[in-house]
Structure formats: C-alpha cells, structure tokens
Structure 1
C-alpha cells in the first residue's frame, strides 16, 4: 500500500504544514497543489526527505509546473492548482482535462473548499486549505493506493 499527503493553499502557515505531516503519519510523499511554494521549500531546508510532487498555484512564483500527470502504484492522476481550469466556476473543464490525460482522478486546490465528487467517470478531489480555510478549519487530504483501489479522504487539522 502507498499513502500520500495532499496539501494545498498553505499561504505561509508553515507550522500548519508540519502539523499535517505529523498527523498524517507514515506517507510515501506529498502531493502539493499550489499556493505555498516557500513553505514546501522550507521542508527541504529543515531536512524533510520524502518525495514532493508540486504544481504551481496562482500565488506562487513559476518554479513548478502548472499541471503534472503522475503514475502512482498503477493509478494515473492529474495534479493542478485549478485556476487554469476555472474551478471556482465549475469542475467540467478539470474533469475533461483529466480524461484527456487518461487520469482516473484530478487533485486540485484554489477554492479552499474540501471537495470530493465524480464527474464524467473522473474523481475530483480538493483537500481544502491548510492556511486559509473557508467554511471550516484547516484541512488536508490522504490518498491511499492498494492494488486497484484508490481511496481519497479529507482530514481536518487538529491544532
């Protein structure tokens, strides 16, 4: 089984990022969905060594790709911040982009709202925001991959 921490929209709350890492327990890597690149870079400075798969958010400098398609344990996922697909309007463009990439799911941020839904046969997941949550507390996501099973879960950060 592989397990990944999914984070987005950290916006300078580095201590909340490290708290999420601690609370998530053993993970095989971090899927970073944008807006908090400096916080993610600080992990490296402080010696965190797990793999980090980043995408650029609308508030980040252009230091990471805007989208990234990953193959993890036989599952194809599209990672993006979401702003280029106008996810604040609807998720149809994002679902279409994921289908075009052959992805079974798309992970995104930008709205700061935890989301899990299926559109057109594609899973769409937003972990919410660690640093600037809307309508609730700071949150993150967990992705579990085991064989053909893909599980996505929201978790609220306990401060």
Structure 2
C-alpha cells in the first residue's frame, strides 16, 4: 500500500505534488494546509487524513481538524501531528510511524523501532530548502519511507 505524505502547503498545491501522489491509497497532510480546497483536491486522489498546523488554527474551516490523530492503514498504526515537539509522549501503544511537518525540512529517522518522517514542505519554497513530499510503502507489516523532491 502506498501512503502519500504532504505538509506545509501554505495554500499552494503544485501540479507536481498532485502527480507525485497519484496512485496513493491514502494521503496524510501534516498541517499548515492554508486553504481547505487543498484537502478537496487531495481527496479527489485518495482519502485524506489531516491535522491542523499553526497557520491553520485561527481559521473556521480548520477548527474541526485534530491536533494529532492516530490512523490504522494496512494494519499499521501511524500518528500524524504537525510539530515533532508536540507528539504525545509516550507514543500511543502500537504506533509504528510518526508523520510530522512544520520545519519544512524533509527528514526521516528511526527511534525505538518507530519510523519518524517529515515530508518537508510542498508549498512555497522557504529559504534554500527543497520543495518536497513523501510516501510510505507498506507491505506485509514492513514500512519504508521515501522523500521526494519536487521540480519547481
């Protein structure tokens, strides 16, 4: 199963991001969405789970979005939260993947048997950071993360 990971769109959904997310069974948006139409557009590709980010909080449409959420996909529990420092500690039992955003820096690492992945920012370029998103490939209980730099 291919899970799309996107974050920090800040109101900009690039055609290259949509193309990279084609074929995903589910899409996780790790906050700083910026415009509810982004969730609508992503929802045309696959079911979407999203959390709010710091730029979303004052907006009426974002009030229904959770601060963090655990979803079960392909038999694995994944936790989605905008800011890494705000991930609940301890993690809920069984969580194998934590997806965050906020920093705009694509990064993945393993800690205590959990994959932590930040797909970076798919929205406006910030400083000299890449414009990116990510994917999780889940098969037979194994999960691999991929970070994808988008052409801009």
TM-score (norm 2): 0.84
Displacement after TM superposition at 1:97 (Å): 3.9
Query: Which residue among 24, 28, 42 is the counterpart of 2:25?
Result: 28
**3-state SS, counterpart of residue 5 of structure 2:** strand
Q: 1:37 to 1:121 in 2, by over 3 A?
A: same
Counterpart residue number, 2:76:
75
Cα pair distance change 1:37/1:4, threshold 3 Å: farther
Q: Deviations over 1:80-128 (max 9, x none)?
A: 101661xxxxxxxx38343x34201100001111111112222110000
Aligned partners of 2:126, 2:118: CA distance in 1, in Å?
12
- CA deviation digits over 1:6-61, x for unaligned, max 9? 000001212x1x421213331112111000151423417xx825200111111113
- RMSD of aligned alpha carbons: 2.1
Q: Which range moves more in the overlay, 68-77 or 126-135?
A: 126-135
Between Structure 1 and Structure 2, which shows a larger proportion of helix residues? 1
Selected match of 2:100 from 91, 100, 108: 108
Aligned residues: 145
Q: 1:89 matched to which residue of 2? A: none
Cα distance, 1:139–1:81 mapped onto 2, change above 3 Å: same
- Which consecutive residues of structure 1, in runs of 5 or more, have no partner in the other structure? 86-93
Q: State whether structure 2 residue 123 is matched by structure 1 residue 125.
A: no
Which residue matches 1:58?
A: 54
